Chain A
């Protein structure tokens, strides 16, 4: 109530100042804008001749106006320009208005990753909800945005099913029996046994051998009965230990085995669940996996695989992986009753109300209000009356609470309570619920006063890896690196694990900067890159040993270093055969500058096909000539074109290779379709709106470095928007500016930036 009063007073206080601002703004608009955005013409469908208070109420419009005027993009060059003072004054007036409007931050539900991690931390079970919970939809920004999160009957049904799945597994009625299965070559099957396959894998003495020959097919799976091809099926949910004896041959580096679930006889139904890097000379591995009833295990030889289909008709000469033995033990139970059972049912007899309160508090660290509690207590009571066991009753309550808004939505008051602040922080840095230590710090008020000790502790915790994964995957769109091609007919020798390593590079750079307290400037350019064995080879750097990423200093002539020189970025902005300067340019604006760039909704975009034309530039430059496109494309195109010396998989090139897929000739089939490759010179030089010329990767990085403040603020904005679960707006400027000012003292350290974001008062507001 007090808060409401304050807010009203604030509005009352601000009103007169808005009134005072009105004539000035009106005058400015009439003088500078209304010619094109008024009764006669409505360029961009914008009218600024409306009453000023109506304009001021349109929050998004306001943001756009400020951004454009401030950047000098409006009024356009050819129009008479207002004085610098007039611009500054208007921007200040508008900015003030923006700051009065707190951005909306609608109710957020747990993302799939948050849900999974929360269950992991609460119950100590490594659930995988793929196939149960729908993946979260990200159109722009992050899946944590309440505004774009979907809720539908389908989602609700998924939550209900997932809750039942969890409850049945964390609260079993009987202790599962641990069993052991041993497999040797007699039980091994590969694609050779598959009716239509065959070729790349074979039995050899006491071993079964996988090669990279037929990449889609080659896999190893197991049957219990040597004579049957019926695959070994995991009988019950739980943790299983796999002990595998295997080694590689004809290889002089570490190789990688993929563990897949699914029917090995039909490898297209595979789902990769883990990659096991095997050091050179390794004799096997032991790993533990959480599996569910019905899962079927299969191994693939991932480091030998080439993306796309293999066209090799010759016998395979590359590396091979020999499997001799596998032992499976599970489900393993370390203690009985399990930790989860003890957490959910700490006492043998709990009254319905006590039980509900206990589980509700366990799940969210927030008590369930009395008025919300009734229906859940009713469930427990009904169960109790029907003579159900305590475990069964707890299961029902757990299912209900896991499906309820109490659990799946994050509660946030306008000014976060201490516990809510702990939640925001832990879903930021651990992508999971807070632990007891953090909650204690929150409740004692320490967190609100000085969060640095907690932030430091959390960043050192292994759970911080989840933040690094989740944030970089979405910020840098690393999950899209492998969306297209590359076509193996053109990009020979680009192996599966090379592409996989490309996907990891951006994440590893972020991790390294964070862990080593390094400057965020390295995102723009740096004298080192993060690489593993395969990526080092791909970049032509000195050899690195093993699958783990390490920093490697670049030779002085190298153009690499920084996000825009990473193969992953260069690849994800390309299609099968061709690069896309527009994709690359807009990626830079969106993800480094944190600019909102959206294709105009009412324009059908036909991106010029730069493969088919000899006038690559001309086709794209057309954008810049059309008035409706030029505002954005004048910024986008030069950034993208500067990268044209890098091909669709991120390798340096000196000319375009334009690929035509020739239609199959009469006597041929799709598999023999031919490609025609023609070459064209590259011309990449263009001028940025600020007059600076960019012509290649080094000059692009120099231009970005010159824009360092804007870019670092852009990245800070990304972090803030991830933490708050909403888009950053003009109202976040003080927050961003404060963080920037504070890290400017500390060599722009990424770690310091995270500290500063959390320490700022804005972190405690909804």
Chain B
């Protein structure tokens, strides 16, 4: 009731019928979702990628961690990121989800998770959520919006949880700000309209850009006001203060939160980046993850590195299984979700930015197995994914075609 008056008062009655249904998935519905997982430091590929092309026969040990989902899984390997020309250290990794990155240009920097979120993110509290395990450093930014600007990657599990499920302490102040925003937008819109009348044709075209922008921002503010007025979903999940060091604790928590975000329909696109820089390790391991990734082909270092990679994939496997158990609308969360697991480098040991692997998991997949895509741009996979979500694009990043993901 309160919401209705609020919206009416704001003169947006037209918006109401559509928004009325937001916030819960109806029993007959089965919305599409995307879970993107990026492992910055990649995987030790000899243990991940099957030797042979085609259907899985012998699964390498790392891939074996996902054994519960092999009947819905495709492995792509050997892909290129043609965008990476100049870069230093880890910097080129910022372009992994864009399939294009040139630090001098902002156009075309849109990342695949955001491209998909633009298609499926209208009806939820958050268009997308991007989680960053580990400190967000300037080369860990992987999510870019359509303006080429960085999307906030949240690194604290506590903050993610609060964002999703806790009442915002500043909510009252926030609502006041939103109300003020709306009257300000009204005022500037009126002034722009009145000013526009006095302008010549070229100037009017400029003012039109302003007017269009105001109207779009109005929609955003309305959407925020709408959601600010609704209580957040309640979940039975306790988030504990933990030692950030272990895969189970840190990656596990982030993946749990990702699944919860999807399950409560808080968003339909979640991106998780696995930590890589600060001391991320298992309690019984010496050496941290980044250090181990520069294994120099030393067997004892590779062995330790593999312990971490196994732990990461085991956690992903567990989350995928959880998604099979949870029902939202008329199907399981797993059925609704396309999962992309990828890596920013072919090998973190030598900082090789080509030879990239990607795993796609989708309940609708007809054939499974391994596809070696030697030197095909990573963007071809992204374009294939984008088209799965109903995009009419025929290009993404540096794509030269689109992979068939489901067939």
A375 with B187: in contact, given A137-B106, A151-B213 (CB under 8 Å)? yes
Is the pair B297, A666 in contact by a Cβ cutoff of 8 Å?
A: yes
Is the pair B202, A396 in contact by a Cβ cutoff of 8 Å?
A: no
Is the pair A152, B213 in contact by a Cβ cutoff of 8 Å?
A: yes
Q: Is A338 an interface residue, CB under 8 A from the partner?
A: no
Q: Is A154 an interface residue, CB under 8 A from the partner?
A: yes
Residue A268 contacts which of B88, B137, B149, B185 (CB distance < 8 angstroms)? Answer: B137
A371 proximity list for chain B (CB < 8 A): 194
Is the pair B137, A269 in contact by a Cβ cutoff of 8 Å?
A: yes
Is the pair B203, A106 in contact by a Cβ cutoff of 8 Å?
A: yes
A663 with B350: in contact, given A152-B147, A576-B86 (CB under 8 Å)? yes
Nearest residue (CB) in A for B186 is A375
Is the pair B220, A670 in contact by a Cβ cutoff of 8 Å?
A: no
Q: Is A60 an interface residue, CB under 8 A from the partner?
A: no
A669 proximity list for chain B (CB < 8 A): 294-296, 349-350
Is the pair B191, A372 in contact by a Cβ cutoff of 8 Å?
A: yes
Nearest residue (CB) in B for A270 is B138
Residue B296 contacts which of A152, A575, A668 (CB distance < 8 angstroms)? Answer: A668
Residue B184 contacts which of A107, A155, A403 (CB distance < 8 angstroms)? Answer: A403
Q: Interface readout for B83-100 with A: 1 if CB under 8 Å, 0 if not? A: 000101100000000000
Is the pair B297, A405 in contact by a Cβ cutoff of 8 Å?
A: no
B202 proximity list for chain A (CB < 8 A): 104-107
Residue A374 contacts which of B145, B190, B195 (CB distance < 8 angstroms)? Answer: B190
Mark out the residues of chain B between 169 and 226 whose CB falls within 8 Å of any chain A CB in the assembled complex: 177, 180-181, 183-192, 194-195, 199, 202-203, 205-207, 209-210, 213-214, 216-217, 220
Is the pair A153, B217 in contact by a Cβ cutoff of 8 Å?
A: yes
| Separation of A149 and B206 alpha carbons in the complex (Å) | 9
| Separation of A483 and B298 alpha carbons in the complex (Å) | 36
Q: Is A146 an interface residue, CB under 8 A from the partner?
A: yes
Q: Is A134 an interface residue, CB under 8 A from the partner?
A: yes
A107 with B187: in contact, given A152-B147, A154-B149, A269-B138 (CB under 8 Å)? no
Q: Is B104 an interface residue, CB under 8 A from the partner?
A: yes
Q: Is B278 an interface residue, CB under 8 A from the partner?
A: yes
B138 proximity list for chain A (CB < 8 A): 268-269
Mark out the residues of chain A between 141 and 190 whose CB falls within 8 Å of any chain B CB in the assembled complex: 146, 149-157, 160, 164
A670 with B349: in contact, given A107-B206, A371-B194 (CB under 8 Å)? yes
B351 proximity list for chain A (CB < 8 A): 670
B182, chain A: closest CB distance, angstroms: 11
Q: Is B279 an interface residue, CB under 8 A from the partner?
A: yes
Is the pair B188, A403 in contact by a Cβ cutoff of 8 Å?
A: yes
Is the pair A379, B184 in contact by a Cβ cutoff of 8 Å?
A: yes
Is the pair B183, A379 in contact by a Cβ cutoff of 8 Å?
A: yes
B217 proximity list for chain A (CB < 8 A): 153, 156-157, 160
Is the pair A484, B86 in contact by a Cβ cutoff of 8 Å?
A: yes
Q: Is A382 an interface residue, CB under 8 A from the partner?
A: yes
Mark out the residues of chain B between 131 and 189 whose CB falls within 8 Å of any chain A CB in the assembled complex: 135-139, 145, 147, 149, 177, 180-181, 183-189
Residue A134 contacts which of B149, B187, B190 (CB distance < 8 angstroms)? Answer: B149
A566, chain B: closest CB distance, angstroms: 21
Q: Most chain-A CB neighbours within 10 Å: which of B104, B195, B205, B216?
A: B195
B177 proximity list for chain A (CB < 8 A): 164
| Separation of A375 and B182 alpha carbons in the complex (Å) | 12
Q: Is A671 an interface residue, CB under 8 A from the partner?
A: yes
Q: Is B304 an interface residue, CB under 8 A from the partner?
A: no
| Separation of A484 and B85 alpha carbons in the complex (Å) | 12
Is the pair B213, A396 in contact by a Cβ cutoff of 8 Å?
A: no
A156 proximity list for chain B (CB < 8 A): 210, 213-214, 216-217
| Separation of A375 and B189 alpha carbons in the complex (Å) | 9
Nearest residue (CB) in B for A396 is B180
| Separation of A493 and B35 alpha carbons in the complex (Å) | 47
Is the pair B106, A400 in contact by a Cβ cutoff of 8 Å?
A: no
Is the pair A404, B137 in contact by a Cβ cutoff of 8 Å?
A: no
Q: Is A283 an interface residue, CB under 8 A from the partner?
A: no
| Separation of A321 and B350 alpha carbons in the complex (Å) | 35
B192 proximity list for chain A (CB < 8 A): 404-405
Q: Interface readout for B330-371 with A: 1 if CB under 8 Å, 0 if not? A: 000000000000000000011100000000000000000000
| Separation of A707 and B137 alpha carbons in the complex (Å) | 49
A671 with B188: in contact, given A155-B213, A156-B213 (CB under 8 Å)? no
Is the pair A151, B209 in contact by a Cβ cutoff of 8 Å?
A: yes
Q: Is A86 an interface residue, CB under 8 A from the partner?
A: no
Report, as a range, how many residues of chain B touch the other chain: 35 or more
| Separation of A375 and B220 alpha carbons in the complex (Å) | 21
Is the pair B188, A404 in contact by a Cβ cutoff of 8 Å?
A: yes
B350 proximity list for chain A (CB < 8 A): 663-664, 668-670, 673
Residue A309 contacts which of B89, B220, B277 (CB distance < 8 angstroms)? Answer: B89
| Separation of A155 and B138 alpha carbons in the complex (Å) | 22
B220 proximity list for chain A (CB < 8 A): 153, 157
A58, chain B: closest CB distance, angstroms: 17
Nearest residue (CB) in B for A670 is B351
Q: Most chain-B CB neighbours within 10 Å: which of A106, A400, A405?
A: A405
Q: Is A27 an interface residue, CB under 8 A from the partner?
A: no
Nearest residue (CB) in A for B190 is A375
A713, chain B: closest CB distance, angstroms: 27
Is the pair A396, B184 in contact by a Cβ cutoff of 8 Å?
A: yes
| Separation of A340 and B86 alpha carbons in the complex (Å) | 47
| Separation of A576 and B220 alpha carbons in the complex (Å) | 43
Q: Is B290 an interface residue, CB under 8 A from the partner?
A: yes
Is the pair A379, B187 in contact by a Cβ cutoff of 8 Å?
A: yes
Nearest residue (CB) in B for A356 is B187
Q: Interface readout for A375-416 with B: 1 if CB under 8 Å, 0 if not? A: 110110010000000000000100110011110010000000
Nearest residue (CB) in A for B216 is A153
Residue A667 contacts which of B136, B190, B277, B297 (CB distance < 8 angstroms)? Answer: B297
Q: Is B288 an interface residue, CB under 8 A from the partner?
A: yes
A670 with B298: in contact, given A156-B214, A576-B86 (CB under 8 Å)? no
Residue B207 contacts which of A405, A575, A664, A667 (CB distance < 8 angstroms)? Answer: A405
Q: Is A626 an interface residue, CB under 8 A from the partner?
A: no
| Separation of A409 and B38 alpha carbons in the complex (Å) | 42
Is the pair A308, B88 in contact by a Cβ cutoff of 8 Å?
A: yes
Q: Interface readout for B118-135 with A: 1 if CB under 8 Å, 0 if not? A: 000000000000000001
Is the pair B207, A107 in contact by a Cβ cutoff of 8 Å?
A: yes
B66, chain A: closest CB distance, angstroms: 28
Q: Interface readout for B277-320 with A: 1 if CB under 8 Å, 0 if not? A: 11100000000101100111110000000000000000000000
| Separation of A341 and B127 alpha carbons in the complex (Å) | 40
B139 proximity list for chain A (CB < 8 A): 268
Nearest residue (CB) in A for B198 is A369
A131, chain B: closest CB distance, angstroms: 11
Is the pair A378, B147 in contact by a Cβ cutoff of 8 Å?
A: no
B106 proximity list for chain A (CB < 8 A): 137
Nearest residue (CB) in A for B189 is A375
| Separation of A160 and B216 alpha carbons in the complex (Å) | 13
B147 proximity list for chain A (CB < 8 A): 152, 154
Q: Is A196 an interface residue, CB under 8 A from the partner?
A: yes
A484 proximity list for chain B (CB < 8 A): 86
| Separation of A105 and B205 alpha carbons in the complex (Å) | 12
Question: What are 9 residue pairs bridging A and B, where the CB atoms are less than 8 Å apart in the complex?
Answer: A134-B149, A151-B206, A154-B145, A155-B213, A196-B277, A375-B188, A376-B191, A399-B180, A399-B184
**10 tightest A-B contacts by CB?**
A375-B187, A670-B351, A153-B216, A669-B294, A107-B206, A375-B190, A156-B213, A107-B203, A151-B209, A664-B350
Taking A153-B213, A368-B191 as given, write out 11 further A-B residue pairs in contact, using a Cβ cutoff of 8 Å, ordered by the A residue number: A106-B206, A153-B220, A154-B145, A160-B184, A375-B191, A378-B183, A400-B187, A403-B188, A405-B210, A484-B86, A669-B294
Enumerate chain B interface residues (CB-CB to A < 8 A): 86, 88-89, 103-104, 106, 135-139, 145, 147, 149, 177, 180-181, 183-192, 194-195, 199, 202-203, 205-207, 209-210, 213-214, 216-217, 220, 277-279, 288, 290-291, 294-298, 349-351
Enumerate chain A interface residues (CB-CB to B < 8 A): 104-107, 134, 137, 146, 149-157, 160, 164, 195-196, 263, 266, 268-269, 308-309, 368-369, 371-372, 374-376, 378-379, 382, 396, 399-400, 403-406, 409, 483-484, 575-576, 663-664, 666-671, 673
